[in-house]
Amino acid sequence: MSTGTTSGAGSETSAEPGPGVLPAIPAPGGGETEVPRYAPQWLRLREPADAQARAHELLDPLRIRLANRPRHGTELIVHDLGCGTGSMGRWLAPLLDGAQHWVLHDRDPYLLHFASVGAPRAAADGSPVTVTTQRGDIGRLTPDALTGASLVTASALLDVLTAEEIDTLARACVGAGCPALLTLSVVGRVELAPEHPLDREIGEAFNAHQRRGDLLGPDAVSAACEAFDRLGASVRVHPSPWRLGAGQRELTQEWLRGWVGAAVEQRPDLAPRAETYLRDRLAACAAGDLRVTVHHSDVLVLPRPTGGA
Ligand SMILES: C[S@@+](CC[C@H](N)C(=O)[O-])C[C@H]1O[C@@H](n2cnc3c(N)ncnc32)[C@H](O)[C@@H]1O
C-alpha cells in the first residue's frame, strides 16, 4: 500500500510527504516525467506486519506448481517487481526449497541498493539464494524480460499501478507462462476500534486519493483478476489484512499520519476536523487503546505453462 503526499492536516501531520512517499525522482530512461519514491524507513517499518499478513494459504498451490515445472531440479528464477528494499524475497525465499536466483526490479536505484545488500542468502532447505537487481519501469515489462522465469512476485505494488501497467504485467507473466504471487494490495477497507464518526469520511477521501490520475488504488485487485482471467490464467485471491494493535504502535502512527494526510490532500475541507481526529487517534494509539485493520488481498496467478517456465 502506498500513501500519497501529505499536507495541511495540522501540526500532527508531517510536512514531509506521508509515510512511504518521498519527493519524486526522474523516471528511468530520463525525460521530463517524475515518479514517486518510497522511503526505505517506511518499507522497513511495515515489513514485520507484512510478513504476518501474507496469505500462507497460497503457498502450497504455488509449491505444487513450482514442483511440476518443466525444468524442475534447476535453479528457481524469481522476478520480484517493485521490490523496494526486498521485503518479499526476505519472506518468501526461506519458505521455498531449492536454489533460487532473484531478479529484483524497481525504478528506484536507491531502494535497489538496499534490496541487494539485505538479500536473503538461503532457501528453506539451505540451498543458496543469489540476487541481481534491474532498474526499470514495470509499465514497459515485456514477456522477453521474463524469459526463463519460474515465478513473478510483487508486494504492495498493484494498487500503485494503472490499468495499463497491470495489463502489461499480466501479458508479460502469461506470455512467459510463469506463476505470479502478487501480495498485499489494498482493497479500500479499513476498520478502527473504537470507531469514530469521521472514520468513514477519511477512508473515502483516502480511497479517492489512491485513485488519483489513472491509478487503480483499491480497484487494483479486481483489475488484475480480470486482466489475468482474460488471458486464460487461473486466479486465486486470499485476504491478507494488517491487524495492528499495541504491539505495532510506531507503524500504526506512521500509517495514521499518511492515511489522514492523503485524505486531507484529496479533500482540503476536512483539514480542521482531521487535525483533531488525528491528534486523538495518535494519543489513543500511544496509550495502546487503538486497533486498526487494514484490509489487503494476495493474488496467486497460475497461467498455462508455455514449456519454458
Ligand atoms: C509500496 S512500495 C512496495 C515495495 C516492496 N515491494 C515492499 O513490499 O516493501 C512500491 C514499490 O514499487 C516501485 N514501483 C512503483 N511503480 C513502479 C513502476 N511503474 N516501475 C517500477 N517500480 C515501480 C516503487 O519504487 C516501490 O519500491
pLDDT recorded at residue 4: 33
For ligand 1, whether the C-beta of 160 sits within 6 Å is: yes
Q: Which of 160, 168, 186, 240 to mutate to test the pocket of ligand 1 (most atoms within 8 A of CB)?
A: 160
CA 83 to ligand 1 center in whole angstroms: 6
Asked whether residue 99 is assigned to any structural domain, the reply reads yes
Instruction: Specify the ligand 1 atom closest to the Cα of 50.
Output: 8
- Does the beta carbon of 155 sit less than 6 angstroms from any atom of ligand 1? yes
Cβ-based burial of 31 (10 A; exposed 0-12, middle 13-18, buried ≥19): exposed
Q: What's residue 22's pLDDT?
A: 65
**How many structural domains comprise the chain?**
1
At 304 the pLDDT is 82
Task: Tell me if 2 CB under 6 Å of ligand 1.
Answer: yes
Give the pLDDT of residue 262.
96
Examine residue 165 and state whether it is found in any structural domain, yes or no.
Answer: yes
Say what the pLDDT of residue 277 is.
Answer: 98
pLDDT digits (tens, 9 = 90+) for 58-99: 999 999 999 998 877 799 999 999 999 999 999 999 999 999
Q: Is residue 56 part of a domain?
A: yes
83 falls within a domain: yes
Atom of ligand 1 nearest to the CA of 83: 6
Cβ of 159 below 6 Å from ligand 1 = no
131-152 pLDDT, tens digit per residue, is 999 999 999 998 899 999 999 9
All three cell numbers of 91: 519472506
Structural domain includes residue 120: yes
pLDDT value of residue 216: 97
Q: What is the domain-level CATH number for residue 138?
A: 3.40.50.150
Q: With respect to residue 286, please indicate whether it lies within any of the assigned structural domains.
A: no
What is the reported pLDDT for 72? 74
Mean pLDDT by 10 residues, the chain (309 residues): 36 42 60 76 97 98 94 90 98 98 97 97 98 95 92 97 96 94 98 98 97 96 98 98 97 97 97 98 98 98 74
Specify the long-range contacts of residues 188-192, CB closer than 8 Å, at least 24 apart.
188/217, 188/218, 188/219, 188/295, 189/218, 189/295, 190/259, 190/292, 190/293, 190/294, 190/295, 191/292, 191/293, 191/295, 192/281, 192/290, 192/291, 192/292
Q: Whose CA is nearest to atom 23 of ligand 1?
A: 82
Q: Is 192 in the pocket of ligand 1 (CB under 6 A)?
A: no
CB 22 near ligand 1, within 6 Å: no
Contacts of 21-29 spanning 24+ positions with Cβ under 8 A = 21/258, 25/108, 27/107, 27/137, 28/107, 28/135, 28/136, 28/137, 29/137
User: Would you say residue 101 lies in a domain?
Assistant: yes
Q: Which domain holds residue 123?
A: 22-187+214-241+296-302
User: From the CB of 180, is ligand 1 less than 6 Å away?
Assistant: no
For residue 115, being part of any structural domain is answered with yes
- The alpha carbon of 106 and the centre of ligand 1 are apart by a number of angstroms equal to 6
Cα of 285 from ligand 1 centre, angstroms: 28
